[in-house]
Amino acid sequence: MATPHKKTLAPNEIIFRQGDLGDCAYLIESGRVAIFIERGNEEIPLRILGEGEVFGEMSLIDNVPRSASCRSVDRCNLIVVTKDQLLDRIKAADPVVRLLMKALLERLRGQNAILRNEVLAPSVASDPSVLDKKEALQRIGLENSLASALDEDEFIPYYQPIHSLKTKKIVGCEALIRWVTKDGQIISPASYMDVLEDSSLILQAGQIMIDKSLRDLPNISSQFKNSDFFVSINISGRQFSHPDFLAKLDESRNRAQVSSHQIKLELTERIMMDGPLALAALRQCRLKGYKLALDDFGTGFSSLQYLTQMPLTDLKIDRSFTSRMNEDQRSLSIVQTLIHMARLLGMNLIAEGIETLDQLKLYEAMGVEMGQGYLFDKPMPIEAFLKLQSQLKTG
Ligand code: C2E
Ligand code: CMP
Ligand code: CA
Ligand code: CA
């Protein structure tokens, strides 16, 4: 039988007893409940809880029987919070927050055990999938390493060329972050991007990527003898919604003396979570002449309604579509729809992750303007990137 969502209790009803297995928590809509410890025949009062307070959550979080008993004081209306509702949220939380929660729970259980004249084992049995200490420690460790790597200036952009599929020339590049460790390892962002983005470190890392790639741009542009050569910079949601974002971007651009039409900001659909605020910021960027590309389109929770309002100049076709479109009719249909939509909205298309000649030919046949991928080149350091032009001339 499904758990009812609400419960109404008369005064003095037992809701659950210390030692019971916990199956749900409660939110008090009205009335009061008493939490108490049972020691032999004695009752030791702990708290009286009222409207808006929650109880019965502990046993769900750490999977240990109820730490105390609970009885209604007056007539109560309770909202039932199911185990899944609670655990889904906890699992989605930062592992460090989960670790703190575990520490607080253990402390509270320890105090209750003292009241029961019991001694609690140092660490209560807990559900490792929900409260994983190791994961939290690893995360804090990585966050600290990233913070000192930022202080030590260990992040640099690698550049991947973006080709015009019509002229075959390199018309731009995407700047992709790399961590160059002290022992010379070059680490791609897959292993640390989440940690950067979940903390404010992304602001610092993002600014470094803007500064360094804009500093390199005049060099690249003159080497390729193209004053329209563009650099595409990935901007994370937190960075874009920061109130200083545009002012700092302008500052870096002025310092590097490059024109805004050579700068493309790559944003994902996630920025649209900010709704009208994001829209206003996008319009400001366009007014200043920056180009705006939508990255990873179709992989997130896109809102077509927002897409049509966003002043975008480019749409990037995600690698996942490129890799499947030659074999899978559904992926090909999505790509065709994206192309059609971009045309209607006046946007340019950039195909990502082109690895085979078949993929390239298909994109060319469909009239896609630009492409990048391992078929052409992998991302590379600035020195190698600057040599590409001379190789093209001689090769
Ligand atoms: P993304 O923006 O989708 O970047 C494309 C990723 O695909 C890059 O991985 C690139 O190296 C890789 N790639 C390019 N062509 C091919 C191909 O033909 N085959 C395959 N298998 N892969 C290809 P990378 O450099 O590891 O970056 C991963 C993600 O990290 C990026 O995905 C982007 O979301 C994020 N990222 C990278 N640099 C930055 C940055 O400076 N700031 C922010 N906010 N995010 C960044
Ligand atoms: P749970 O252990 O599931 O069941 C008993 C509930 O009482 C517990 O969750 C908490 O919501 C609450 N509780 C336990 N100990 C205390 C305490 N010391 N002070 C206040 N509330 C408590
Ligand atoms: Ca990108
Ligand atoms: Ca992408």
CA of 89 relative to ligand 3 center, distance in Å: 29
Span 272-283, pLDDT tens digits = 777 777 889 999
Residue whose C-alpha is closest to residue 149's, from 201, 110, 108: 201
Give 100-144 as a 3 state SS string: HHHHHHHHHHHHHHHHCCCCCCCCCCCCCCCCCHHHHHHHHHHHH
Q: According to the model, what pLDDT value does residue 115 have?
A: 86
Residues within 5 Å of ion ligand 4 by Cβ? 295-296
Higher confidence at residue 247 or residue 63?
A: 247
Residue whose C-alpha is closest to residue 170's, from 178, 179, 161: 161
DSSP letter assigned to residue 13: -
Q: According to the model, what pLDDT value does residue 342 have?
A: 92
Q: Is 193 left (phi over 0), alpha (psi -120 to 50) or beta?
A: alpha
Q: According to the model, what pLDDT value does residue 347 have?
A: 95
With a cut of 80, say whether residue 328 has pLDDT above it.
Answer: yes
CA 293/CA 288 separation, integer angstroms: 15
DSSP H or E stretch at residue 178: strand 170-180
With a cut of 60, say whether residue 315 has pLDDT above it.
Answer: yes
With a cut of 50, say whether residue 12 has pLDDT above it.
Answer: yes
Span 102-158, pLDDT tens digits = 889 988 998 888 888 876 665 544 555 555 777 777 888 899 999 999 999 999 999
Only one residue has tokens 């960027």, namely 285
Q: Does residue 66's CB lie within 6 angstroms of at least one atom of ligand 2? A: yes
Q: Does residue 46's CB lie within 6 angstroms of at least one atom of ligand 2? A: yes
DSSP letter assigned to residue 262: G
CA 383/CA 219 separation, integer angstroms: 11
Q: According to the model, what pLDDT value does residue 184 have?
A: 94
What tokens appear for 218 in the block?
């005049």
**What confidence tier does 394 reach under pLDDT thresholds 50, 70, 90?**
very low
Q: According to the model, what pLDDT value does residue 3 have?
A: 59
What tokens appear for 125 in the block?
């049995």
Beta strand pairing call for 33-39 and 69-72: antiparallel
Q: Does residue 199's CB lie within 6 angstroms of at least one atom of ligand 2? A: no
Q: According to the model, what pLDDT value does residue 395 have?
A: 42
CA of 82 relative to ligand 2 center, distance in Å: 16
With a cut of 90, say whether residue 191 has pLDDT above it.
Answer: yes
User: Given the CA of residue 47, which atom of ligand 2 is nearest to it?
Assistant: 20
CA 112/CA 67 separation, integer angstroms: 7
